[in-house]
Structures are given as C-alpha cells and as structure tokens.
Structure 1
Amino acid sequence: MAEALLHQQRTHRPPAPRPPSHRPGTLVGGLLRTTRPKQWVKNILVVAAPAAAGRLFSLHAVTRLALVFALFTACAAAVYLINDARDAEADRAHPTKRHRPIAAGQVPVPVAYGVAGALAVLAPTAAAWLTTPAVAVLLTAYLGMQLAYCVSLKHVLVVDLVVVTTGFLMRAMAGGLALGIPLSRWFLITTGFGALFMVAAKRYSEAVQMAGTAGATRVLLTEYTTGYLRFVWQLAAGVAVLGYCLWALEGGGVPHTSVLPWRELSVVAFILAVLRYAVFADRGTAGEPEEVVLGDRALALIGLAWLAVYALAVADR
C-alpha cells in the first residue's frame, strides 16, 4: 500500500510553474502597475497653492498645472521603479509583494532601471524647458531625496518620516512655483504638518496591523513603538490645525464682501476632516491615505463641504 502511494506521488507531480511572460503588452502593463497609478492622486497637491491664491481659473494655469502634475508623476514613477528593482529579491519572499511585476519577473530588472533613468532625466529637463527653473530644481531635489531614501534613508529613524513628509510638501510647493505664487508660512506649516499627520498615521497603522511580523515588511517598524508613532501623528494633527486656524483668522480684520466670514468658517470643516481621519488613525486602519480619503463617505462629504466654503473664502477676497 505504501509503495503504491509513493508511486502515485512520483507519477502525479504538480506541473512546473510557467516562466514569466515578457510579451510587449505584458511588459508595458507591468511597468504601469509598478508606477502605482493609485498613488497618482497624491500629485493633485500641485493645485493647492494656486487654489489658495485663487489662480485656478485661467487656461494658462490649468495647462501649466496639468504639466507639473504629469512631471511629478513621472518622477515618482522613476522612484517606484528603482525601489522595486532594488527590493526584488526581498519582495519575492513576501506573501503580497511577490506579486509586484518586477519581483514576479514580468518586468526585468534592467528594463526597470532603464525606464527609471529615462524618466529621471526627462522630467526635470522638460520642467526647465516648459515651466520654470524653480520647478526643475524642485523636481531634481525630489528625485535626489527619494533615491537617497530608497538606498539608505528609509532605514534611519525619524528621518524616514521627514523624507516622506517632505515629498508631500514639495508637491504642494510645485504648483506655486510653476505660476510664480508666493508661498505663505501658514500654507507651508499647515501642508507640512498635515502631511506628517498622514504619514505617521500610516506608519502607526502598519505597526498595529503587523505587530510581531513588522521586521519582515518594514524594518524600522520594529524600532518604532506604537506609542511614539501615536504621539507623532497627534502632535502633527495639532500643529496642522493650529496653523490653519492662524491662517484663517489672520484676515479677521479684513472687511468681507459677503454676509458670512467664509474664511473663518472653513476652520470648522477642516477640523472635522482632521478629527474624522483621526478615527481611522486611532483604529490602525489608516494604512493608505488615498484609500481612507476616497473610501469613507463621511470624510468625502466633509472634504466637499470644506472645498465649497474654501472656494467662497477665496472668491470673497
């Protein structure tokens, strides 16, 4: 009986896995997936400064901002390609990341490096030619910072939080630089600490969900404590709210052309949005900011209400 079972196992071996396909269509699709299309929503931050200044309603502004959005997307894509190419071996041992196109063999590592290098050169060059030198310098600094993050900075405590936060802040600055809009200190403070709030909340959620196995996915999560990460996102949320309130109340003495002080009233919606987002951060479910913002109906409605009041505040100037 045992010999029969052994013979059956030998003669019914599972088929060998098929080698990865490198058809052109599959390769292009793999490259596109590696650039993280879901993350492109972050680059909408380029409209933040022009929106605050009321400079969105012209063909020149819309065209210039669309170009800056595309250039920032190209730079971020280059970083994602290099990051996944460097981490391909480690990703193959991960239950989820092994399905990434480079780790799965759908995109060869040399191709990933080649496309990333082309994007990293073309994006700042196009920015210098089609926008302003300041935007080209900002994109070059972003690429340098993110590449340093991929190589070493993502393993340095606190610095990793600062680098990711600065990436968000650079996106918000790019739109203002492209249109020559002065960036106020309150805008930079609110945007910077708002970004730190979401970044720290994401790290906190990862630490909570991957407790005991964090080292296998993000090494620094074994060195951060959940208490420290909670402190960081709470501190950042408080500073962001304070910065926004100071900005809104700064013009309190300016006469309004409408009945209601829309600028001051926008504080209510902003604080409600922060408090709503903090619910997910506290639960440890704020892993992907774009999924939280787009996936929660209440938060989306609060965001729309804030946009409406903010637009009235800009129009009331």
Structure 2
Amino acid sequence: MTETAPMTGGGRIREATLLEQRTPLRQSAPPTQGSLLGGLLKAARPKQWVKNVLVIAAPAAAGQLFSRHALTQLALVFALFTACAAAVYLVNDARDADADRAHPIKRRRPVAAGQVPVPVAYAVGAALGVLAPAVAAWLVSPAVAALLAAYLGMRLAYCVSLKHILVIDLVVVTTGFLMRAVVGGLALGIPLSRWFLITTGFGALFMVSAKRYSEAVQMAGKTGATRALLTEYTTGYLRFVWQLAAGVAVLGYCLWALEEGGVPHTSLLPWRQLSMVAFILAILRYAVFADRGTAGEPEDVVLRDRALALIGLLWIAMYALAVANW
C-alpha cells in the first residue's frame, strides 16, 4: 500500500491562492447589461404582443387598412399599446415579486428570479407608462393618448385590487381587449359601428371567461391556485359566461352580416352572409378547447391549432371580400 506524500507549505499556499482566485469569480460576478435587458424584454411578455394586433380591427372592418398613412399610424399605435402593456407587466411583477418567488412557475419570472431588480422594474414600468401616452398625444391624437392613459389606470387598479372582485375582474380584462380594438379606429378617425363593438366586446368576454374556466378546471382538487379568485368562481358559472358571450358575439356578427347598410350588392357572391359560416365555425372550434379546459392560453390555441388557423384565414378572406364589396 502506498501513502500519499504530505503537501508542503508551498503547495498549500499555491492551492489556497488558486481557490481564492476562482471562488469570487463564480459567486460575485454581477449580471451583465445584456442579461438585464434580456430580463426586461422577457418581463414585457413578447408572447402576449399578439393581442395588440387587435389595433387593426376597426380599420380592417372599415376597409381603410392599406394606405401608407394608416399603416404608419397603426404601427405606431401597436408599439405604444405594447409599451403600456409592458409597463403594467413590470409594475405587477415588481409588486408581486415576493409572492412569485414562492410559486413553482412564477418564480422563474425575471423580477422574481432577481434578473431584473425590483426598483429597476418599477422605474422602467413608470417610464413606459408616462412616455407612451405622451408620445401618443404628440404623434397620433389626444383621444388615443386618453385611451392609453385610461388603459394604464384600469390595469394598474386591476393589479392592486380589482382582480380580487368577482365579475369585475372579467369585465376589466375584457375591456382591455375592447380598448385594443377601438384604439385603431380612434387613431384614424373611423366611426365604430354598434355591431363592431358588440361582436368584439362579447368575443373578448368569450375568450377571457373560457381562459378562467380552463384555469378553474385544471386547478380543481389542487392546492395553491394561481389566481385566488378562482376559488370563488364555480366552473358552472364560468361555463355559463363563456357560452352566453359566444352566443351574443355570434348574434352580433350575424346581424351585421344580414344588414346591407344601404350599400348596393355588386359582388359575385354574398360574402357578408357567407362569412357567418366561417365565424361560427371559428367560435365552435375554439369552444372545443374551452370545453376541455385547455384554453388557458388563448394565444397558444389560436397559433397552434391548424384547423382553427385555417378557419381564421378563410374568415379573413371572406370578410375582406365583403368589406371590399367584390
């Protein structure tokens, strides 16, 4: 059996020196600027930006989408609404950082994980919340600035208290979607029809209540709800809400499609009426996921289901032909 030779004093000194040189580099290396910027971008929820495409809804419905002025204004409004939404996300994450750290999924959010310091999240959120309405007042219109300010106020109130009030939480989230759909019309001075407001509003309520229903179904029998208010809703009530909202949205759209509005019918086919089929199919297809309790992430349902995407493209084509009166 061989014995290991004892380490000399010089060997100990050299090993200690190497350990001192290595350990601080691993433990105290500050986060790089890139990691902070990446954390801010992640906290802004890029996956949710698809919702802001609703800003083109009113101009598209009016057939005023493809002029250079319209596209420029809508791109700017999209960016400003995205900035407002990012401001709300940052403030909300900063406010809930301690609670999120105790959550198995939310603890990975940049603010809860420490990638974005809480004061930085508050500061960037406040800066975006002030700058977005100011830029809108300067480059778009005072009406758009007022709507963005109202959106910020409503969403911040939701983060603080309104999300804990039954039914009001559904109304606030639905109103946020409706504001997205309305802001494009305000930016271009387009009058908004009653059918547009009814269909958009109740369509948004359908998706919001289906999301809540899916969350309630998935957390049934589990402890630690991601939303405390879900424990106060029943799945039966949420199912009633999304079914009612789907029915009203379909009714509003059908009334628009059956109303000629004084425009002479010169197209080869009745595209307005035919588009009802695609719209109803889209509602029915989305309701499949709502009924299963798998509509907790609406953007995933819309983007990943090929059948729904195909129906959506068909509806867009028919709707465009109807608006253009081809």
1:185 corresponds to 2:194: yes
Q: Deviations over 1:203-228 (max 9, x none)?
A: 00001111133643110010000000
C-alpha distance in 2 between matches for 1:197 and 1:114: 35
Equivalence for 1:276 = 285
Q: 2:307 aligns with which of 286, 298, 308?
A: 298
Query: Residue 313 of structure 1 aligns with which residue?
Result: 322
CA contact (8 A) 1:252 1:264 kept: no
The answer (yes or no) to whether the contact 1:30–1:107 under 8 Å persists in 2 is yes
Deviates more, 1:19-28 or 1:282-291: 19-28
Partner of 1:51: 60
TM-score, L = length of structure 1:
0.93
Q: Distance in 1 between matches of 2:116 and 2:29?
A: 9
Match of 1:168 among 165, 177, 201: 177
- Partner of 1:102, secondary structure, is helix
Instruction: Please list every run of at least 4 consecutive aligned residues from structure 1 whose deviation after the TM superposition is greater than 4 angstroms.
Output: 17-21
| RMSD of aligned residue pairs (Cα, Å) | 1.6
Q: Kindly provide the amino acid, as one letter, of the partner of residue 61 in structure 1.
A: A
For 1:306, give the aligned amino acid: W
What is residue 29 of structure 1 aligned with on the other side? 38
In the alignment, the residues of structure 2 paired with residue 21 and residue 229 of structure 1 have an alpha-carbon distance, to the nearest angstrom, of: 47
> Is 1:65 matched with 2:77?
no
What is the identity, as a one-letter code, of the residue corresponding to 1:37?
P
* Superposed CA offset, 1:97-120 (max 9, x none): 110000000000000000000000
Aligned partners of 2:40 and 2:110 also within 8 Å:
yes
Q: Which amino acid aligns with 1:241?
A: V
Q: C-alpha displacement at 1:250, in angstroms?
A: 1.1
- Whole-angstrom CA distance in 1 between matches of 2:269 and 2:296: 38
Q: 1:254: how far off?
A: 4.3
Higher Rg: 2
Provide the rounded CA distance (Å) in 2 between the counterparts of 1:97 and 1:266.
41
Matched, 1:258 2:260: no
Question: Does 2:204 correspond to 1:207?
Answer: no
Which residue does 1:97 correspond to in 2?
A: 106
8 Å CA contact 2:215, 2:296 repeated in 1: yes
Q: State how far apart, in whole Å, the 2-side matches of 1:20 and 1:207 are.
A: 42
Q: 1:109 to 1:19 in 2, by over 3 A?
A: farther
1:20, distance to aligned residue in structure 2 (A):
8.8
Q: 1:20 to 1:50 in 2, by over 3 A?
A: farther
Percent identity, please: 81
Query: Partners in 2 of 1:277 and 1:194 — Cα distance?
Result: 11
Pair 1:195-2:204 in alignment: yes
Matched, 1:154 2:181: no
Letter in 1 for 2:177: F
List runs of 5+ in structure 1 lacking aligned partners: 1-14
Tell me whether 1:225 sits opposite 2:224 in the alignment. Answer: no
Q: Contact 1:215–1:222 (CA<8 Å) still a contact in 2? A: no
Tell me: CA distance 1:83–1:219, structure 2 relative to 1, closer, same or farther (3 Å).
same
| 146, 152, 168: which one aligns with 1:137 | 146
Question: Structure 2: which 5+ residue stretches go unaligned?
Answer: 1-22
Aligned counterpart for 2:122 among listed residues 98, 104, 113: 113
Classify 1:18/1:296 alpha carbon distance in 2 versus 1 (closer, same or farther; 3 Å).
farther
Query: Structure 2 residue aligned with 1:81, among 76, 79, 90?
Result: 90
Residue 42 (structure 1) aligned with residue 51 (structure 2): yes
Superposed CA deviations along residues 72-114 of structure 1, whole A, max 9, x for unmatched, are 0000000000111111111111111110000000000000000
For 1:117 and 1:149, locate their aligned partners in 2 and report how far apart those are by CA, in whole Å. Answer: 16
Q: TM-score, normalised by structure 2?
A: 0.90
CA deviation map 1:227-258 (0-9, x unaligned): 00000000000000000001111117743212
Instruction: Write the letter of the residue equivalent to 2:168.
Output: V
Q: Which is further off, 277-286 or 87-96?
A: 87-96
Q: 1:82 corresponds to which letter in structure 2?
A: V
Report the counterpart of residue 10 of structure 1 in structure 2.
none
Q: How many residues align?
A: 302
Structure-2 separation of matches of 1:18 and 1:182: 59
Residue pair 2:219, 2:225 contacting (<8 A) in 1 also: no
1:5 matched residue in structure 2: none
CA contact (8 A) 2:137 2:144 kept: yes
For residues 252 and 65 of structure 1, the distance between their equivalents in structure 2, rounded to whole angstroms, comes to 26
Q: What SS class does the counterpart of residue 179 from structure 2 fall into?
A: helix
The 2-side partners of 1:72 and 1:247 are apart by 28
Question: Residues 46 and 75 of structure 1: is their aligned pair in 2 closer, same or farther, counting only changes over 3 Å?
Answer: same
